[in-house]
Amino acid sequence: METKSTAVDRSILRRSAFWYTGTSLGVVVLFLTLTELVGGYRIAAVVGGAIWSFILSMIVTMPLYTAYFKHRSGI
């Protein structure tokens, strides 16, 4: 049987996962838009840069959003 804090923790983790994944996808869209505007890059460089941007922004934003939502919930 789940306790109330376990249910709250899962809710916080689900909400923060939604937000940091969305933020990372937004960073990828921004990256792809800027590379399209500048132009002159090979497709391998664009794809590699998009993957790198996604992974790096996930690493950076994951603890930020999780801590923010935990703080807001009072845990």
Write down the pLDDT at residue 7: 75
| Higher-pLDDT residue of 74, 71 | 71
CA-derived radius of gyration, the chain: 17
> Which residue's entry shows tokens 């909400």?
15
Locate the domains of the chain by residue range: 24-75
Over residues 3-12, the pLDDT tens digits come to: 667 877 889 9
Report the predicted TM-score, pTM, of the whole model to 2 decimal places: 0.84
Listed in sequence order, the residues at least 6 apart from 16 whose beta carbon sits closer than 8 Å to its beta carbon are 62, 65, 66, 68, 69
Over residues 17-69, the pLDDT tens digits come to: 999 999 999 999 999 999 999 999 999 999 999 999 999 999 999 999 999 99
Write down the pLDDT at residue 18: 96
